[in-house]
Structure 1
Amino acid sequence: MKISNVRLHAVGIPRHTGFVNKHVIVKLETDEGVTGIGEMSDFSHLPKYSIDLIDLSRTLNTLLVGRNPFDIEDINRELLDNFPEAMYYYEKGSFIRNGIDNALYDLCGKILGVSAAELLGGRVRSRMKVCYPIFRQRFMEEVESNMETVRERYGQGFDVFRLYVGKNTEADIELLKRIKSEFGSKVTIKSFDFSHLLDWKETLRTFKALVPYEVGLEMVESPAPRNDFEGLYNFRTRIDYPVSEHVWSSMQQSEMLKKDAVDIFNISPIFIGGLTAARKASALAENGRKSIVIGTTQELSIGTAAMAHLGCALPHLKFTSDPTGPELYIGDVVKNGVQYEDGYLIAPDRNIAGLGVELDEELLEEYKVSDLGWGEVTVHQLQDRTSTK
């Protein structure tokens, strides 16, 4: 069996906030009629340049047509040569590698008649605990709308939330106070996510202001500028909570291990370049006696299904993870989206081969867009994922 064609479909799907995210759906076709699907998720992010989809399609067809889809490791090495790591966690080359790797696991699973989790070593759990994001507050007026989000999502079974912080500490404190007053211990805040906005000393001052109001805090995320390994270490040694950071390259992860800079590696296929790379990053974390969480850029159901298979195959996943992307969008491009129950992401049925989701061609056409650009969207909109300037 050989790969016979690579098809890329750009889609734009609005979030409930009004922000439109653009993704690329991948189809890997074979000479025996089996097709694997994947997702290059969330191109609508910094750095603010877009991919030429026609050129990307030509490039991927040149690289992949005629290849055996089971040569996953060799194909990933070639993809890495052409779309190298750049030490930046929104590097779009990682998005491209991730989409192809998703599709390879889906395709090979379908050929063998097994789920993607079996290809990743087999399940150790059938679901993983996840949190719902509360996006960064810049104004006090946003507190009430975020309380409404907590109420709505709690009613749907989500009882753990991740709070983006670092722009308006007064608003963050007010939100934390109101959550604790209204919900008590029924709702917890998994993490304060600083998203590399502040240097470690300013983060420490802000953290000390927030921590008296924490409710069930599991960790602090990204408390120093990107690739500031000394800053991560300095912050980590001054607090009594675990520190987490995203993994976006093998070199960056190795440096964090050398510096003993974090307690938890945030591993997401989209940022590290696919399930294959994420599995390696997870093994490195395990060998280094570090915990992990499964991170997210808020994928659609195809990308989220891949993360569900990954998370359910990792024995050292000990903390609440992040993949709730499909809940943030008004639509999707599959017939059978991933499912959430009581705040858990449920792994796709292991009796369904591959990733376990089926593409809906009508929805693919409905959400079709011509390119991956975004025009006049501001940096703040890209950071906060909102349509409000």
Structure 2
Amino acid sequence: MKISNLQLTVVGIPRHTGFVSKHVIVEIMTDEGITGIGEMSDFSHLPHYSLDVADLTAVLKNILIGKNPFDLSLINKELLSNFPETMFYYEKGNFIRNGIDAALHDLCAKSLNISVADLIGGRLQEKIKVCYPIFRHRFMEEVEENLEVVRQRFKQGFDVFRLYVGKNLDADEAFLDAVQSEFGSKVTIKSLDFSHLLDWKQAWQAVKRLSAYRFQMVESPAVQNDFEGLAHFRMKVDHPVSEHVWSFRQQYEMIKHDSVDIFNISPIFIGGITSARKAAAAAEVAGKGCLLGTTQELSIGTAAMAHLGSSLTNLTYTSDPTGPELYVADIVQNPVKYENGYLIVPGRDVPGLGMQLDWEKIEQYKVPNLSWGNVSVHQLQDRTAQTKA
């Protein structure tokens, strides 16, 4: 079996906040008539530049056409040469490699008539505990808005939440106090996520202030790649510390400096299922736990994470992939399912990732390119369309 063609389709899907996230649907075709699908998820991030999709398509065709899709290691090596790691959290080359790698896994599993989870080693679990994100407060009036999000999502079965913090600590504290007062132990705050907005000393001061409230861990409490600062922070707080993995050099440095307790691993940030499995194995060797991170994918990207997570032996913490719940629509016929706060791993009865494209939805949300126009920095950081000053 040989790869015969590749197609990239850009869609812009609004979130319930109003922010429009752009994703690239990947289709890899073969000479045997089997097509694998993947997702380059949520390109609408800083840094504030976009890619030329026609040029990207030509480059990827040059790499892929004629290859055996089962040559995953060889193809990933060539992809890494063309789209290298840069030690940056939102490196778009990682997004590109992730979409291609997911489509290759989907393709290979389909050709064997098995699920991706079975292709990469088998399932240890059929569902993964996840949390719902509460986006960062900039203004005090957003506290009640976010409290209402908790109320509505709690009714749907989500009882664990992740809180982005660091821009308005008064609002963060008011929100935590309101949640604790209204829900008590029925709702868990998984983490305070600083997203590298503060240096480690500022984050430490913030955590000391917010420690009057219950939460399980602290995420990204230092500027990017400040491994020593992250280690200093970890030694000063009582809570476990988590950080994303966005390059193998960065993960090596975090292990070397003993900077974290938990590795936040997501295919989108490390460049695909293949790389995410390596990162999870490195974490296991280092004696660290893992959780599945997210950039808020659609169902294809989320399904890829579900298959990955189902096969990991050291997935020891509540994970983050609730992206499909954040959008007003999806581009597959059978979106991933959530039940009682768990992401359900697509079943063995449908091969590959278990997703089928919905071309009516794709045509509805299809856009010509990945550019953003006048989207502001705070919108890209906070994933909101609000225009408050």
Aligned Cα RMSD in Å?
0.5
SS at match of 1:337: coil
1:121 corresponds to: 121
| 1:292 Cα offset (Å) | 0.5
Superposed, which structure 2 residues align to 1:111-150 within 5 Å? Answer: 111-150=111-150
| 1:350 Cα offset (Å) | 1.6
| 1:131 Cα offset (Å) | 0.2
Q: Which amino acid aligns with 1:370?
A: P
Distance (Å, rounded) in 2 between the aligned partners of 1:252 and 1:260: 12
SS at match of 2:212: helix
2:98 corresponds to: 98
* Aligned 8 A contact 1:161 1:188 in 2: yes
Q: Which amino acid aligns with 1:76?
A: N
Cα deviation 1:3-50 (Å, max 9, x = unaligned)? 000100000000000000000000000011100000000111011100
SS at match of 2:263: strand
Cα deviation 1:358-380 (Å, max 9, x = unaligned)? 11111111110011011111110
Distance (Å, rounded) in 1 between the aligned partners of 2:168 and 2:49: 28
2:311 corresponds to: 313
Distance (Å, rounded) in 1 between the aligned partners of 2:199 and 2:386: 27
2:68 corresponds to: 68
Q: Which amino acid aligns with 1:27?
A: E
SS at match of 2:303: helix
Distance (Å, rounded) in 2 between the aligned partners of 1:156 and 1:190: 18
Q: Unaligned 5+ residue runs, structure 2?
A: none
* Aligned 8 A contact 1:218 1:319 in 2: no
SS at match of 2:230: helix
Q: Which amino acid aligns with 2:279?
A: A
Distance (Å, rounded) in 1 between the aligned partners of 2:255 and 2:119: 27
2:234 corresponds to: 236
SS at match of 1:220: strand
| 1:141 Cα offset (Å) | 0.5
Distance (Å, rounded) in 1 between the aligned partners of 2:212 and 2:36: 49
Check if 1:156 corresponds to 2:156.
yes
| 1:351 Cα offset (Å) | 2.1
Give 1:288's match in structure 2, choosing from 283, 286, 289: 286
Q: Which amino acid aligns with 1:120?
A: I
Q: Unaligned 5+ residue runs, structure 1?
A: none
Aligned length: 387
Q: Which amino acid aligns with 1:356?
A: G
SS at match of 2:5: strand
Distance (Å, rounded) in 2 between the aligned partners of 1:350 and 1:320: 23
Distance (Å, rounded) in 1 between the aligned partners of 2:159 and 2:297: 21
Distance (Å, rounded) in 2 between the aligned partners of 1:96 and 1:382: 19
Q: Which runs of 4+ in 1 moved over 3 A?
A: none
Distance (Å, rounded) in 1 between the aligned partners of 2:108 and 2:217: 36
2:385 corresponds to: 387
Cα deviation 1:279-317 (Å, max 9, x = unaligned)? 000000000000000000000000000000011110111
1:265 corresponds to: 263
1:338 corresponds to: 336
Give 2:373's match in structure 1, choosing from 355, 375, 378: 375
Alignment TM-score, normalising by the size of structure 1? 0.99
2:77 corresponds to: 77
Cα deviation 1:212-239 (Å, max 9, x = unaligned)? 022xx22100000000000100000011
2:357 corresponds to: 359
2:346 corresponds to: 348
SS at match of 1:212: coil
Distance (Å, rounded) in 1 between the aligned partners of 2:343 and 2:211: 28
Q: Which amino acid aligns with 2:291?
A: V
Q: Which amino acid aligns with 2:59?
A: T
Cα deviation 1:52-85 (Å, max 9, x = unaligned)? 0000000000110000000011000000000000
1:323 corresponds to: 321
Distance (Å, rounded) in 2 between the aligned partners of 1:33 and 1:198: 50
1:45 corresponds to: 45
Distance (Å, rounded) in 2 between the aligned partners of 1:204 and 1:89: 21
